[in-house]
Amino acid sequence: MLTTILRGALRQARRHPVYVGLDLLGLALGIGVFLSLALLVRYESSFNAGLPGVERLVRVDEHWTLAGIAPMEEADISFLALPFLRQDFPEIEDAARLLPSAFRTEQGGAFTKFDGYETDPSFFRVFGIALSRGVVDDALSRPDGLVLSEAAAMKAFGTRDILGRRVELNKAGVRSVHVVTGVMAPIHGPNLLARAEMIVPIPGEEARTRSCFLYWGSACGAIVLRLRTPEDIGAMRARLRDFVIRHASGADDDRVAIGPHPEKIYEMRLVPLRRLNFYDVGVVDSDDGVDRNVVNAIGLIGFLALVLACANTVNLATARAGLRAREVAVRKTLGATRRVLFVQFMGEALVVTAVAGIVGLVLCEILTPEIASLTGEGVTVSYGFVLAVLPVVVVVAGLASGFHPATILSGYRPAAVLAAARMPSGGRGAARLRNALVAGQFAIAIAIVICTLVIDRQTAFMRDADRGYSKSGLLIGQQVLGGDLEQERRMLDTLRAVPGVSAVGFGELEPAPHAMSRSDYKYAGPNGQVSIQMLFDRVGPGYFEVYRPRLLAGRWFDPERGQDEGPDADDLLKSKGSFNVVVNVKATTTLGFATPRQAIGQVLTADGLRARIIGVMDDMRFVSPREEVAPEIIFFDTLARVPFVDPIPAVRFQGVARAEMARRLDRAWASVRPELASNFQPADERMAELFVGDERRGHIFTVGAVVALLIACMGLYSLAAFSAIRRVHEIGIRKTLGASGGQITILLLRDFLRPVALACVLACPVAWVVMRGWLSGFEQRVPLSPLHFLVAVAAALLIAALTVLGQTVRVARAEPARALRAQ
């Protein structure tokens, strides 16, 4: 039987190389894309799976429900909670605080940057990380301990055998000397620590002074818990509300607590680490998460590619069935049963699919690195996975694509076939099925094309969209530890003196901010008292010229006027004083002002502090396009007596290439603060981190669109080729009756394109619904324009027309006498 099947498949390949080739190619493409995208989906869903006992690991998030702004969840939390958590919840086996930090090592005046954490000695136990050098329990027990990842060890020392070596660290200008006490073994697969190069203990000084160690509601890092059993997660969750009431409540003037009823605005949430990347899409302060819908869509595209390829095979096989009708009739006359023939044809389909599977595997190997570089994800071909999945895919695809044709073929009745002058087409039903399959294929392809266009527009828009400040000619430095008035003035003067610089200014908020501080303000308006939470910023002279925000009403700060000077540390701490402020438009609409102008002169209060609005500026978007811009309040600091706390230098320049300008600024910076390397960057480079993920994953849609169109065109081509052969005779008759070549071409094109037109009708509404949903996840987004749909439909029709044009013209040109003879 097996040899009969193999021989049958081979004979088909020899007799109809084009059909079998198209069939094989389509299937291989489908299988290859399916495998590659399955690998990608598997990769994205295996986040943190390499951490031992990950099902017992949770991050403790803060969830705020505050007046005036949308509810939000933050990955960073007050470290004050941890001792109480340990005390109240016996479920906690171990815990660690993670303060994300950027370290620099200094060697002979050159800086090397390392990302990592300041954390507790329990860090390695909590995450179950092994050390390839050093001892887990001791590595961070001494305050000057330091653990490097293997990659970082190679980067810094060129070897992993570095225990006991001295490392001088520079963290935002603060120097410390450490001794290497361990080297981390790599963690398999994607995980939240993948970028961690350096781990050091939390300095005692920080734990004593930083507000996130001292106050509820203040946050600078994450808490990760290892529980005793996975069920403990649920058990703990049920008691967290009481926990918050017990520990975070206090009188209104209690600065440590969140207020008399913290549970009304504040909630602690446990987030299992296993799917943290999906969860983090909606979480502030976390790494850029992965939109699960997008990952699902990518998986769907892979699956659809396979379905399209199977549809192609069904199409080709039923079309070709007629050609084999005589073979079937003769075999049956010679005594073959229907079952034997069914097995024969099914077997042939499986053989073809198996060959396609092997070609698909090769395609997958070629595609996967491409996809990895397109998405920026570290996905690789995992043979264990692929070799387990491939046979299943081959069998399922083989059965799916072989069943229907085998049924038709084995069902032919010999007498009817042998008596008929022409090859049977499988009847009207089969023709309708073929058209439906092509329509379905194109519908899928067109829908993907539309989605690709919309995604492409949206990502381009996110890059180019107006952000409320002038992006070109703007370079932004790193946020540094301030507090030294003299040094800050010198810094500005030095930067201003760099050739090419036209303006310099400090602010305390930056594009893609690392830290934001918010506080509540009250406004007594005509409709009673309103309370809103506002983002705090403090800007200096020159800020306006550097960022060029749009002033919508009132005026900007004026360094010449004394009353524009903002609060000092004491004013803020004690909430006192009277100051002029500028707010953004979002603040005025949230406060209920109909126009920006109405807000001018109004006074906001925070306890004893009075803020008089002198200007309203357009919203400046420093946050992800997915997020809403928050109400913002801006104070002025002339640098006459009050130093900035965490200044962010920014520079406007002209007449110099950007890269050269950045080099000059970094050099000038080093002359004032040599201990602290700077890195002046364009604002867009910082914003990019907020949407490159979307952009890169969008590329997958492009791949999907191309593949889907390709396979759909193969289906259409084979359909056209088949019906062209069948219709030669009919065309001969029509021409004999006086139809011209042009009329025949139009007739055929119309028939061939009918399923494609139907596909357009099917695809548009689906794509519309899907894309409306996707776009609604963005606060800043493009409108869903009919143009995208028109372009996709026109492109599909054009490509389809080109696909069938060759066949059509060939048939339309045929000499009628010859056509009539060719029965």
Partner 1 sequence: MLIDLSHIQRLYRSDEVETTALLDIHLGIEAGEFVAIMGPSGCGKSTLLNILGTIDRPTSGSYSFGGQELTELGEAALAAFRRENLGYVFQSFNLIDELTIEENIELALIYRRMPKAERRHRVAHAMDHVGIAHRARHYPSQLSGGQQQRAAIARAIVGEPRLILADEPTGNLDTENGAQVMDILQRLNDEGATIVMVTHSPSHADLAKRRVDMLDGQVVISVRNAI
Q: Is 421 a residue that touches partner 1 (CB under 8 A)?
A: yes
Nearest to 398 by CA among 340, 304, 313: 313
Placement of tokens 């193969």 in the chain: 714
Nearest to 601 by CA among 586, 585, 616: 616
Which amino acid does the sequence have at 817?
Answer: A
Question: In terms of residues, how long is the chain?
Answer: 823
Q: Which is nearer to partner 1, 472 or 736 (CB)?
A: 736
Q: Is 742 a residue that touches partner 1 (CB under 8 A)?
A: yes
Q: Are 505 and 678 in contact (CB under 8 A)?
A: no
Residues 652-691: x/- map of binding to partner 1 (CB under 8 A)?
A: ----------------------------------------
Q: How far is the CB of 819 from partner 1 (least distance, A)?
A: 9
Q: Residue 326 is encoded by which pair of tokens?
A: 């005589």
d(CA 676, CA 699): 38
Q: Residue 218 is encoded by which pair of tokens?
A: 């203040």
Q: Which is nearer to partner 1, 237 or 810 (CB)?
A: 810
Q: Is 419 a residue that touches partner 1 (CB under 8 A)?
A: no
Q: Is 751 a residue that touches partner 1 (CB under 8 A)?
A: no
| Residue from 66, 418, 739, 782 binding partner 1 (CB under 8 A) | 739
- Give the DSSP per-residue string, 45-74: HTTTTTSTTGGGEEEEEEEE--TTS--EEE
Q: How far is the CB of 307 from partner 1 (least distance, A)?
A: 30
Q: Which is nearer to partner 1, 234 or 738 (CB)?
A: 738
Q: How far is the CB of 742 from partner 1 (least distance, A)?
A: 7
What is the β-pairing status of strands 110-119 and 198-201? parallel
Which span (193-201, 293-301, 361-369, 730-738) binds partner 1, by CB under 8 A?
A: 730-738
Nearest to 739 by CA among 634, 671, 811, 821: 811
Neighbours of 409 (CB within 10 A): 26
Q: How far is the CB of 444 from partner 1 (least distance, A)?
A: 29
Q: Which is nearer to partner 1, 138 or 815 (CB)?
A: 815
Q: How far is the CB of 736 from partner 1 (least distance, A)?
A: 5
Phi-psi region of 396 (alpha: psi -120 to 50; beta: other; left: phi over 0): alpha
Q: How far is the CB of 722 from partner 1 (least distance, A)?
A: 15
Which span (11-19, 227-235, 482-490, 813-821) binds partner 1, by CB under 8 A?
A: 813-821
- Give the DSSP per-residue string, 758-818: HHHHHHHHHHHHHHHHHHTT-SS-----HHHHHHHHHHHHHHHHHHHHHHHHHHHHS-HHH
Q: Which is nearer to partner 1, 1 or 419 (CB)?
A: 419
- Indicate the Cα dihedral angle 39, 44, 45, 50, nearest 10°: 100
| Residue from 107, 141, 159, 736 binding partner 1 (CB under 8 A) | 736
Q: Is 380 a residue that touches partner 1 (CB under 8 A)?
A: no
Nearest to 310 by CA among 399, 220, 418, 193: 399
Q: Is 738 a residue that touches partner 1 (CB under 8 A)?
A: yes
Q: Are 489 and 576 in contact (CB under 8 A)?
A: no
Q: How far is the CB of 761 from partner 1 (least distance, A)?
A: 24
Q: Which is nearer to partner 1, 659 or 737 (CB)?
A: 737
Q: How far is the CB of 817 from partner 1 (least distance, A)?
A: 4
| Residue from 740, 754, 765, 822 binding partner 1 (CB under 8 A) | 740
Which amino acid does the sequence have at 63?
Answer: H
Which amino acid does the sequence have at 355?
Answer: V
Non-local (6+) Cβ contacts of 143 within 8 A are 201, 203, 204
| Residue from 104, 178, 664, 734 binding partner 1 (CB under 8 A) | 734
Q: How far is the CB of 740 from partner 1 (least distance, A)?
A: 4
Q: Are 16 and 320 in contact (CB under 8 A)?
A: yes
Q: Which is nearer to partner 1, 571 or 730 (CB)?
A: 730
Which span (358-366, 521-529, 633-641, 810-818) binds partner 1, by CB under 8 A?
A: 810-818
Q: How far is the CB of 428 from partner 1 (least distance, A)?
A: 8
What is the β-pairing status of strands 578-584 and 609-617? parallel
Phi-psi region of 782 (alpha: psi -120 to 50; beta: other; left: phi over 0): beta
Q: Are 553 and 597 in contact (CB under 8 A)?
A: yes
Q: Which is nearer to partner 1, 544 or 722 (CB)?
A: 722
Q: Which is nearer to partner 1, 354 or 820 (CB)?
A: 820
Q: How far is the CB of 432 from partner 1 (least distance, A)?
A: 12
Placement of tokens 């390949």 in the chain: 13
Q: Which is nearer to partner 1, 381 or 739 (CB)?
A: 739
| Residue from 4, 107, 743, 785 binding partner 1 (CB under 8 A) | 743
Task: Please classify residue 339 by burial: count the beta carbons closer than 10 Å to its beta carbon, then call 0-12 exposed, 13-18 middle and 19+ buried.
Answer: exposed
Placement of tokens 């590619």 in the chain: 305
Q: Is 427 a residue that touches partner 1 (CB under 8 A)?
A: no
Which span (586-594, 645-653, 669-677, 731-739) binds partner 1, by CB under 8 A?
A: 731-739
Q: Residue 614 is encoded by which pair of tokens?
A: 């002198």
Q: Which is nearer to partner 1, 188 or 413 (CB)?
A: 413
Q: Residue 27 is encoded by which pair of tokens?
A: 């299937």
Neighbours of 529 (CB within 10 A): 9
Q: How far is the CB of 19 from partner 1 (least distance, A)?
A: 23
Q: Residue 761 is encoded by which pair of tokens?
A: 């009708």
Q: Residue 739 is encoded by which pair of tokens?
A: 């139809």
d(CA 426, CA 422): 12
3-class DSSP assignment, residue 738:
coil
Residue 77 pairs in a beta bridge with: 221
Q: How far is the CB of 731 from partner 1 (least distance, A)?
A: 10
Q: Which is nearer to partner 1, 518 or 727 (CB)?
A: 727
Count interface residues toward partner 1 (CB under 8 A): 21
d(CA 461, CA 28): 36
CB-side exposure of 167: number of CA atoms within 13 Å? Answer: 30
Which amino acid does the sequence have at 173?
Answer: G
Q: How far is the CB of 333 from partner 1 (least distance, A)?
A: 23
Q: Which is nearer to partner 1, 581 or 731 (CB)?
A: 731
Q: Which is nearer to partner 1, 522 or 729 (CB)?
A: 729
Q: Is 429 a residue that touches partner 1 (CB under 8 A)?
A: no
Q: Which is nearer to partner 1, 8 or 741 (CB)?
A: 741
Q: Which is nearer to partner 1, 320 or 734 (CB)?
A: 734
3-class DSSP assignment, residue 379:
coil
Q: Which is nearer to partner 1, 733 or 761 (CB)?
A: 733
Q: How far is the CB of 37 from partner 1 (least distance, A)?
A: 41
d(CA 821, CA 116): 80
Q: Is 434 a residue that touches partner 1 (CB under 8 A)?
A: no
| Residue from 460, 569, 733, 802 binding partner 1 (CB under 8 A) | 733
Q: Which is nearer to partner 1, 100 or 732 (CB)?
A: 732
Which span (50-58, 60-68, 178-186, 734-742) binds partner 1, by CB under 8 A?
A: 734-742
Residues 684-723: x/- map of binding to partner 1 (CB under 8 A)?
A: ----------------------------------------
Nearest to 110 by CA among 647, 682, 666, 650: 666
Q: Is 729 a residue that touches partner 1 (CB under 8 A)?
A: yes
Q: Is 817 a residue that touches partner 1 (CB under 8 A)?
A: yes
Instruction: Return residues touching partner 1 (CB under 8 A).
Output: 421-422, 729-730, 732-743, 815-817, 820, 823
